[in-house]
A and B are shown apart, each in its own frame.
Chain A
Amino acid sequence: MQIQLGIATVLSPILSFVLIAAVGLRRPTVAKIISLTAATVSLVCASMLLLGVNDPAFKIQATWSWLMDDPSKFTIGLLLDPLSLVMLFVVSIISWLVQWYSLSYMEEDARQGKFFAFISLFCFAMMGFTIAPNLLQSFMCWELVGLGSYLLIGFWNHLPSAATAARKAFIVTRLGDVGFFIALLLAWTGLGTLDFGAMAGDAMSATWKAAIGGSDYGVWISIALFLAVAGKSAQFPLYAWLPDAMEGPTPVSALIHAATMVAAGVYLLARMSFVLVLGSEAAIMAWHGLAVIAMITALMSGAVAIVQSDIKRVFAYSTISQLGYMIVGIGTGAVAAGMMHLFTHAFFKALLFLTAGAFIHAAHSNSITDIARAGGAKLKLPMMALFVGSMALMGFFPFAGFYSKDAILEHLFVEGDWILFGMALLGVFITAYYTSRVIYLMLKVPAEPHQGHGDEHGHGHGLHLGSWMKLPLGFLAFASLVAGNVWLWKAHNWFVIPEAEHGNAALITALVSTAIAAAGAFYSARVFYWRTSADPMASMTGFATLLREKWYLDDAYWAIVHNFYLPITAFLQKVETIIVKGALDGIGTVSMTFARGFARAQTGEVQHYLGMSFVVVAAVVLILMSR
């Protein structure tokens, strides 16, 4: 039964993609109906599956041989365990809400059919990745997810910036994918299996620790995977694509670049976290190293979020920073805490993006100040949603982010990892600072009723909230409030939660982090709200320049590309034109010569044909007889 439900969850989006491609591309209504029906089926099935889990040891796996008959080789199938089902639920519910929301957001777009087809393709890939029972299927779906992301970032491909952003996202994540592929090859050659269950078996412990190239398999595979995670989940040094990816339609940003795809890397780490149990000391050190990098990423990107004027970019940098927190959790061994933050973050970050989308849709601008000038603060539901989402992001009680962020902080506290703990608290301050800044700017900048593009588009009296946007915003706001409690209530069914022997650790971290977040929000208010200067952004210099230039990371990319990559390609191009092309041309010439000769045999004279037939048959007979 579970298997059938799992199959239905995953296959309905691809069916939707095929159907829309066949009949819905020019019929938006048909495309919307197909797409939402499929999303509903997925959501219902995924919910039923998740509700049926009441034991962390729950595991159902079904695989089918693929390509080869030998089932020990390549298989595809589903692995249903609490980890995959939680992720499957997150993906299906966010994608349902986002598709519902898109009914309004995309209503004026001429290519809605294509949009819903791409979303369906993406959902299929993401779900196929989530339930993958082995690294091979993970990898294939991982790549398909990347394709879906590329197609959707560049959906408005008439805008050069969108096309460039799509290409950048694709190429940068591709660098990470090389890591995934290396991990795949290492696992295949070293461990002899790609199946998660088999790789996690106790008997594999020795194999994971088997030495290769100065270290062991656990270390090499982990490092290769970290590269993939850094690409997909936008961590240092591969995070620069995510802010640019905001060129895509905002529902896409909410679905792919906040809640699901970027969390794929985190999910992969959670899936592979058995390395922390089976691997050597060195492998565990490597995971800790990843956690440190993620923590640094979280601080760097959080700082950049402070100076962004584009509302989506604020949230994009915030996403990078929050993904960092999740990886810190998993890298230091708190898988459940990391997944909890993934779970709550999916809701409140999707909420923030959809809210941003509502503003953008209404005000026709991405700039926070433009939106405020156009009267964004008068949109009641989005403002409420922005407030709830921000409270959750900053981590105030009783919003969802409070519980999940504290779970990670508490883990660091209990482990006595004071450096990471301190950095994480600094991150809390920065988060509160940039998040509250958006609200202050929205409230502070006065509305100018006759500004903006609202009038031209016919909604003359103030701003207008799309009618399909209300339900997702309302629901997500509710979820951002309760998701943390839901997790605490249900999570013992899903994960083995380490029991507290730490006494007051929870209380201490909760108080400290709340105090620090409040300090961040307060300081932000001093700078952006209470100060009287007209444009608080203009007064920022020095360090802010560094932030505004995004730590010069893009320039560093360019320097590398110009100084190393381009000379190499130039050299390879010479090799290509002189040696490879020369050889190929040679083959071509030879083939053509032969072709000319053979073609001459086709004279059109039937006598020649028969003569040839007779001679060949006679020759064959004679040769065989003479032996």
Chain B
Amino acid sequence: MMLQLLPEFAALGALLILFFVTLGNNVSDRAARWITLALSGFVLVAAIAAQDQSGLMFANSYKLDTYSQFFKILMAFGLMANALLGWPLRSVPTAQRSEYYFLFFAAGLAMMLLASAFSFLVLYVAMELLSYSLYTMVGMRRARTESIESSVKYIIIGATASAIGLFGVSYIYGATGSLNFGALIDSLKGTTTHSALLMPGLVMVLSSFLFKLAAFPFHAWAPDAYETASSPVAMFLASVSKLAGIAFLFRLVYMVKPYMPEFETVIGILALITMTFGNLVAFRQTSVKRLFAYSSIAQAGYLMLGMIGFGDSAPVAVVFYSAIYLLMNLVVFAVVLELERYGEDPTLASFQGLYKRNALMAMALLVALFSLAGVPPLAGFFGKWLLFSSAAQGGHIWFVAFAILNSVLSLYYYLFLVKAAYFGDVPKEAVSLDKGGSRIAILVTTIAIALLGLYPRVLTEYLTGLNFPRSLLP
């Protein structure tokens, strides 16, 4: 068991080690960061070591399969990248910084649990562990009262979403007599006329995930949280924390959708509203972190569209896009963090003339933004192509047409930033961006985005080999 759950135990161990090491605040921030980096490296190694594990555990409530194990690798990679790039925690009081690293692994553990959850009970516990870690992280920036405010909003919306979800779970339990997914699928398979409780139950459970993904109608927390949280926290929210919601939601959708076509339509429509909302409101933002909050809302919409794609191609599409979504947001937020040295909470104006201040940052931003916008030959284009073609194969051609229009809309605000970075004039009070920063990490990530676009088969072939359709269906 120890071996099978290696990544989870590694995250738990990391959490405990950090808890004891930072107890009493006698470790410097720099040391805590290096410890975190090293521990996240261990978690990544553990996740890779456990990649071939499979099986049902804990009374069929916890499932290890190629899908969950690959997501754990992605999450561990995301944790490590966050530890590497998401530093320093400028706006968090020194005394609280060590708590951040503790919560960092608590959230990491919760995400891994979510990737494998196979019962509504595990799901709920993992979800709450993740949510509570994130609430605290968002509220850590004490210097701004807005940070507390948005943290409280986040808690209220989160609590509501999870209450609705739990209420839905009770319906499902009423309909199937079990909290286990296997039992749920068995009862779906058995009859063509489902219990009247099942559909409302599933829709309500869905709410919790829409909240995690910041999808409509539970998106409202995201812009405030991203903007007012410390930037490394925003990076964490935008990059790795999304993976957990995607991993679980797709597992549920994939299992349920063959039996409930209506469910597919619900997700599809919510996906369209989510992406349209995200893209259109992003037009009007001046705060960069807020803008990327809306951008990530829109990206979640694309992913949700891919989830209802054709059965054989959807898993690879969703996992591929999750991976590059992670990379793109890491790069974007790494650049935002660099710019923060110039003043807290970068606005569009602080991107002016970035090219002249630091060509590498501008290049990385250009690649990441073009990729987010889906410009060939970058990874984002190919990822979107996989998502959309899968959805089109699944018979949702009109949804896809609408999504492509959305993709065009999104060009506007992405290119706006590129224009500012390349053609804008350097602000007079700008400080030098020559020294420091995680140059190499940013460069490597940027090259990865370009290469995955030029030669996506490196990843898609590997993902196809993992045979997700078989491991996702019980």
Contact = CB atoms under 8 A, between A and B. Distances in A.
A624 B157 contact: no
Contacts of A66: 455, 457
B184 interface: no
B164 interface: yes
A66 B382 CA distance: 12
B203 A620 contact: yes
B207 A610 contact: no
B203 A617 contact: yes
Interface in A6-50: 18, 22
Given A598-B277, A624-B200, A612 B220 contact: yes
Interface stretch (B35-43, B94-102, B279-287, B342-350): B279-287
Interface in B103-141: none
Nearest to A622: B200
Nearest to A68: B457
B280 A594 contact: yes
A625 B161 CA distance: 21
A48 to B, nearest CB: 27
A604 interface: yes
A23 to B, nearest CB: 10
B224 interface: yes
A22 B360 CA distance: 9
Given A65-B457, A67-B456, A606-B156, A616 B266 contact: no
A42 B460 CA distance: 31
Contact of A610 (B156, B277, B457): B156
Contact of A591 (B157, B283, B382): B283
A504 interface: no
A609 interface: yes
Contact of B223 (A65, A602, A620): A602
Interface in B263-314: 266, 276-277, 280-281, 283-284
Interface string B233-254: 0000000000000000000000
Interface string B183-207: 0000000000000100110011001
A596 interface: yes
Contacts of B90: none
A610 B283 contact: no
Given A609-B153, A621-B200, A616 B281 contact: no
A595 B217 CA distance: 16
B203 A613 contact: no
A617 B281 contact: no
A627 B221 CA distance: 32
Interface in B141-163: 153, 156-157, 160-161
Q: Would you call the interface of chain B mostly helix, strand, loop, or mixed?
A: helix
Given A66-B455, A621-B204, A624-B200, A609 B157 contact: yes
Contact of A606 (B157, B200, B280): B157
A596 B224 CA distance: 18
Nearest to B160: A610
B209 interface: no
Contact of A609 (B199, B220, B443, B456): B220
Q: Would you call the interface of chain A mostly helix, strand, loop, or mixed?
A: helix
A598 B204 CA distance: 24
Contacts of A588: 412
Interface in B437-468: 443, 447, 455-457, 460, 464
Nearest to A616: B217
A496 interface: no
A572 interface: no
B200 A616 contact: no
B218 A613 contact: yes
A376 to B, nearest CB: 41
A599 interface: yes
A595 B284 contact: yes
Interface in B254-268: 262, 266
A612 to B, nearest CB: 5
A602 B287 CA distance: 15
Contacts of A624: 199-200, 203, 262, 266
A595 B281 contact: yes
A65 B455 CA distance: 9
Interface in A570-627: 588, 591-592, 594-596, 598-599, 602, 604, 606, 608-610, 612-613, 615-617, 620-621, 624-625, 627
B216 interface: yes
A610 B219 CA distance: 10
A161 to B, nearest CB: 26
A148 to B, nearest CB: 18
A617 B171 CA distance: 15
A602 B281 contact: yes
Nearest to A610: B160
A606 B221 CA distance: 9
A599 B224 contact: no
Contacts of A596: 284
Contacts of B262: 624, 627
A589 B382 CA distance: 30
A609 B153 CA distance: 9
A73 to B, nearest CB: 12
B267 to A, nearest CB: 10
A599 B200 contact: no
B12 interface: no
A455 to B, nearest CB: 39
Nearest to B200: A621
Interface in B342-401: 382
Nearest to A619: B217
B409 interface: yes
A617 B456 contact: no
A604 B146 CA distance: 11
Nearest to B152: A606
A622 to B, nearest CB: 9
User: Quick one: which of B280, B456, B457 has the most chain A CB within 10 A?
Assistant: B280
A615 B156 CA distance: 16
User: Quick one: which of A64, A596, A604 has the most chain B CB within 10 A?
Assistant: A604
Contacts of B280: 591, 594-595, 598-599
A103 B156 CA distance: 67
Contact of B196 (A592, A612, A616, A625): A625
Nearest to B211: A613
Contact of B199 (A69, A613, A615, A625): A625
Contacts of B457: 64-67, 69
Interface string A50-67: 000000000000001111
Contacts of A627: 262
Contacts of A594: 280
A604 B224 contact: yes
Nearest to B204: A617
A94 B262 CA distance: 66
A598 B281 contact: yes
Contacts of A592: 283
A617 B207 contact: yes
User: Quick one: which of A18, A66, A588, A595 has the most chain B CB within 10 A?
Assistant: A595
B203 A616 contact: no
Given A591-B409, A599-B284, A624-B266, A609 B221 contact: yes
Nearest to B413: A595
Given A588-B412, A610-B157, 16 more contacts: A18-B447, A22-B443, A64-B457, A65-B457, A66-B457, A595-B280, A595-B281, A595-B284, A602-B223, A604-B224, A609-B220, A613-B217, A615-B217, A616-B216, A624-B262, A625-B200
8 contacts: A66-B457, A588-B412, A591-B412, A595-B283, A598-B276, A616-B216, A620-B266, A625-B200
Interface of B: 153, 156-157, 160-161, 164, 196, 199-200, 203-204, 207, 216-218, 220-221, 223-224, 262, 266, 276-277, 280-281, 283-284, 382, 409, 412, 443, 447, 455-457, 460, 464
The 10 A-B pairs at the shortest CB distance, nearest first, are namely A609-B220, A616-B217, A595-B280, A621-B200, A595-B283, A613-B217, A606-B153, A598-B281, A599-B281, A624-B199
